[in-house]
């Protein structure tokens, strides 16, 4: 049993905010921020993937050079909250083979560690197949390794025989396995029924410290916080917004985030005649997001699939209602407070669906929603203290209790 505040923890993750993409992995940083008050020290190993598109012979030469460079080129970065951060570039060939990627993650972390194990007795990894495997291969023999699955691409991983076998092995070796939403739990349990009782739900923490002073008066200033990629369906958001704007010219939409569809979406906004009402803010620092949300009246999220849908909880934490697609994670997160939090809509390419959902929400706002109740309910589950408690309970459990419970 660890004494509160004396835990020594390593976090191994493929995602962590960095200057190039400041929002990528912000949920991992939130997890680190949440648990850090209860730890003596936290070391984060950010295994950022570096895809090397070169012929195999040339790759071998690059790998040889990297083996010499890596152990001497990864100094600690002083992160907030007394956290020590190492960024470990993880070179990999351009492959869809997840087992190969898994091997590269473990191999490059070993090179960076110069053959020595991670010192912390508690290691928590994000994404079992990549960072989780790297943690298992590089931890102390007596360390307890935990992993949280967030991946929206888990179905692709589990469709590969070799990767599935590796995943099975990882599940055997982990001291604890967590998922951030019911869709992931079902997928893992269906694939590995013999591990079903090992799967636990855990939440991504959300900062509830900042909120609007007063709830929005009218739901006219929309905001979307999302990468501009196909899965997020921002094109459908623009089409739905155009319909609503035709009814109410005072509407505006702010798109926070960046991605490979940005140019296309800017062109679409112009084509739909809504460019003047739509602001593309680009990528912003994660710390700025609560403030931006609080400046708006409504969070609109049109994703096709989400394992958790953290942004929806963040919107409510900032004090604004949400208009969100039934895309997996958000249904779980908002179970029991759907009407209080805002409005669900189907994942449907018809822009009329979004427009109808907006009309319904607007028609019953403000009396038909209860943002305070929704917020309080979510804070109990997703607030920093609640999520830290969930991690500590898992980490502090004696090994025999874990065995018995299984």
Six token digits for residue 210: 């900042």
Smallest distance, other proteins to C-beta of residue 55, A = 10
By beta-carbon proximity to other proteins, the closer residue of 89 and 121 is 89
Smallest distance, other proteins to C-beta of residue 353, A = 35
DSSP letter at 81? G
By beta-carbon proximity to other proteins, the closer residue of 61 and 393 is 61
Smallest distance, other proteins to C-beta of residue 45, A = 9
Smallest distance, other proteins to C-beta of residue 89, A = 5
By beta-carbon proximity to other proteins, the closer residue of 117 and 121 is 117
By beta-carbon proximity to other proteins, the closer residue of 72 and 367 is 72
For residue 58, the SS3 value is: helix
Q: Which residues pair with 223 in a beta bridge?
A: 254, 299
Residue 47 near residue 130 (C-beta atoms within 8 A): yes
Stretch (H or E) spanning 32: helix 26-35
Residues that bind other proteins (CB under 8 A): 18-22, 50-52, 54, 58, 61-62, 64-66, 68-69, 71-78, 84, 86-89, 91, 112-114, 116-119, 283
Check whether the bond before 359 is cis (ω within 30° of 0): no
CA distance 14 to 20: 14
By beta-carbon proximity to other proteins, the closer residue of 118 and 341 is 118
By beta-carbon proximity to other proteins, the closer residue of 125 and 242 is 125
By beta-carbon proximity to other proteins, the closer residue of 42 and 345 is 42
By beta-carbon proximity to other proteins, the closer residue of 80 and 97 is 80
Smallest distance, other proteins to C-beta of residue 91, A = 6
Residue 223 near residue 298 (C-beta atoms within 8 A): yes
DSSP letter at 339? H
Q: What is the dihedral of CA 324, 334, 125, 34, to 10 degrees?
A: 110
Q: If you write DSSP's letter for every residue of 118-168 in order, what string do you get?
A: B--SEEEEESIIIIIHHHHHHB-TT-EEEEEE--TTHHHHHTSHHHHHHHH
Smallest distance, other proteins to C-beta of residue 134, A = 13
- Closest by CA position to 63, among listed 87, 26, 106, 92: 92
Listed in sequence order, the residues at least 6 apart from 340 whose beta carbon sits closer than 8 Å to its beta carbon are: 369, 370, 371, 373, 374, 377
CA distance 310 to 297: 18
Residue 97 CA to chain centroid, in angstroms?
A: 22
By beta-carbon proximity to other proteins, the closer residue of 2 and 48 is 48
CA distance 299 to 320: 7
Smallest distance, other proteins to C-beta of residue 284, A = 11
Smallest distance, other proteins to C-beta of residue 327, A = 28
Smallest distance, other proteins to C-beta of residue 169, A = 25
Six token digits for residue 324: 């969100």
């Amino acid at each position: 049993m660890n004494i509160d505040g004396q835990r020594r923890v390593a976090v191994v993750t493929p995602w962590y905010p960095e200057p190039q993409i400041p929002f990528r992995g912000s949920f991992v940083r939130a997890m680190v921020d949440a648990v850090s008050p209860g730890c003596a020290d936290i070391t984060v190993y950010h295994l950022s993937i570096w895809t090397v598109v070169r012929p195999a012979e040339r790759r071998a030469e690059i790998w040889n050079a990297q083996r010499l460079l890596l152990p001497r080129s990864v100094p600690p970065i002083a992160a907030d909250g007394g956290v020590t951060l190492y960024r470990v570039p993880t070179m990999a060939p351009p492959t869809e083979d997840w087992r190969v990627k898994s091997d590269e993650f473990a191999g490059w972390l070993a090179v960076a560690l110069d053959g020595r194990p991670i010192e912390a007795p508690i290691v928590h990894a994000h994404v079992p197949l990549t960072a989780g495997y790297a943690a298992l291969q590089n931890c102390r023999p007596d360390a307890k390794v935990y992993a949280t699955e967030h991946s929206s691409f888990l179905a692709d991983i589990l469709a590969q025989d070799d990767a599935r076998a590796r995943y099975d092995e990882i599940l055997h070796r982990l001291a604890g396995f967590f998922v951030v939403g019911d869709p992931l739990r079902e997928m893992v349990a269906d694939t590995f029924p013999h591990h079903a009782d090992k799967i636990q739900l855990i939440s991504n923490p959300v900062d509830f410290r900042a909120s609007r002073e007063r709830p929005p008066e009218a739901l006219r200033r929309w905001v979307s916080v999302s990468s501009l990629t196909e899965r997020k369906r921002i094109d459908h958001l623009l089409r739905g917004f155009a319909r609503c704007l035709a009814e109410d010219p005072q509407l505006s939409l702010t798109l926070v985030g960046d991605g490979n569809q940005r140019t296309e979406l800017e062109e679409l906004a112009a084509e739909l005649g809504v460019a003047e009402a739509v602001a593309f803010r680009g990528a912003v620092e994660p710390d700025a997001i609560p403030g931006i949300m609080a400046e708006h009246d409504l969070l609109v999220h049109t994703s096709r699939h989400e394992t958790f849908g953290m942004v929806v909880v963040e919107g409510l934490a900032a004090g604004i209602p949400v208009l969100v697609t039934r895309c997996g994670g958000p249904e779980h997160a908002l179970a029991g407070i759907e009407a209080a939090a805002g409005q669900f809509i189907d994942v449907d390419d018809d822009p009329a669906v979004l427009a109808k959902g907006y009309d319904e929400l607007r028609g019953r706002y403000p009396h038909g929603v209860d943002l305070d109740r929704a917020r309080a309910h979510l804070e109990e589950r997703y607030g920093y203290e609640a999520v830290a408690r969930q991690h500590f309970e898992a980490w502090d459990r004696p090994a025999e209790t874990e065995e018995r419970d299984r």
